[in-house]
Structure 1
Amino acid sequence: MDENQNVVISQKSSMVDVGDKNITKRIAKASCYIHFPEQVFQMLRQNDFLTHKGSIINTSIIAGLMAAKKTSDILPLCHPLQLTGTNLDITPEENKIRIECTVKCDGKTGVEMEALTGASVAALCIYDMCKAFSHDLEITDLKLNYKKGGKSDYGG
């Protein structure tokens, strides 16, 4: 943070007033990983990532999409947004799965929290579907990769 920037600190929680902001196209991408013990990952790969609960890939995509749409219901200071697009890419790598969530809207506030929520809930869904095989699963590196729209852009 720039040391010349004044920050107002309040003990009272409130939503930011975006009423006077212009509607712009907004996009955000967030990602995370879920790591597996090698033997669990190999078993999942051999079974096309299907478990007794179903496809961990397809189910986690649905969970992430639903979570992105419901972000304002679980994060109390987020504005409810009319999303115009949400996409989850689930990519198996070496003993881990990469999750990337892209969210778009035309609005007065950004969609960073929706992208972060979508990615994290998709990872939690995979954890839930795989915990019967091992509790030695780890969700890591949740981060915002990119945002565009509004007063500042981030990432490449």
Structure 2
Amino acid sequence: MSSEAKMVDISQKETVLREAEAEGFIKLKNDTIKRIIENEIEKGNVITVAKTAGIMAAKKTSELLPLCHLIPLENVDIDIKIENSGIRVRSKVKAHYKTGVEMEALVATSISLLTIWDMVKKYEKDENGKYPYTMIDDIKVIDKIKEKD
């Protein structure tokens, strides 16, 4: 096995519909969740900004992960749900291409979650400036589809 990195050659693969869905969760303080619901976060609307960041990130996946192919995405949908102990982000990505879009879905989910953390960090810190409660967890691919037209 070579110790060099190389992109996988997909030139002989057929172009088909590819879909992938990923999700993750960020645990937040109850007070922070209340502030998000009441749109009282100083940096703005957390849900809107996190969705926008996730969409932008999906389109930049090949720039962030060096061996990923540049895929012409046809749709990125970010669903964000506030739950009792935090926020769940689910990203669904679609493209007609020669390789899957699961990395794009994972990147969209991850960046959406990081954006939420960035926007609420002021409210999540304890008296020592630490984050003992805040945690991003359970990022995973929950569905992957490869269909012929």
TM over 0.5: yes
1:17 aligned onto 2:9: yes
Structure 2 CA distance for aligned equivalents of residues 39 and 26 of structure 1:
40
Q: Hey, what does 1:26 align to over in structure 2?
A: 18
Q: Deviations over 1:44-99 (max 9, x none)?
A: 33x24x41110000000000000000000000000001001000000001121110
1:7-86 equivalences in 2 (<5 Å)? 9-45=1-37, 47-48=38-39, 50-86=40-76
Give RMSD over aligned pairs.
1.5
Task: Give, in angstroms, the shift of residue 43 of structure 1.
Answer: 3.4
The code of the aligned residue for 2:53 comes to A
Structure 1 residue aligned with 2:145, among 128, 148, 154?
Answer: 148
5 Å-filtered alignment, 1:107-146, equals: 107-134=97-124, 135=131, 136-146=133-143
CA distance in 2, matches of 1:43, 1:57: 12
The DSSP-based 3-state class of the residue aligned with 1:131 is helix
Identity fraction in percent: 38
Q: Which has the higher contact order (CA 8 A, sep 6+)?
A: 2
Q: What is the aligned residue count?
A: 141
Residue aligned with 2:105, SS: helix
Query: Equivalent residue for 2:81?
Result: 91
5+ residue gaps, structure 1: 1-8, 151-156
| Moved >4 Å (runs of 4+) | none
Q: Secondary structure at the residue paired with 1:76? A: coil
Secondary structure of the equivalent of 2:91? strand
User: Match of 2:44, as an amino acid?
Assistant: G
SS across alignment from 1:33: strand
Shift of 1:39: 2.8
1:25 Cα deviation (Å)? 0.2
Deviation at 1:37, TM superposition (A): 1.8
Deviation at 1:137, TM superposition (A): 1.3
Q: 2:80 & 2:51 partners in 1: Cα distance?
A: 7
Q: Is the 8 A contact 2:110 2:139 kept in 1?
A: yes
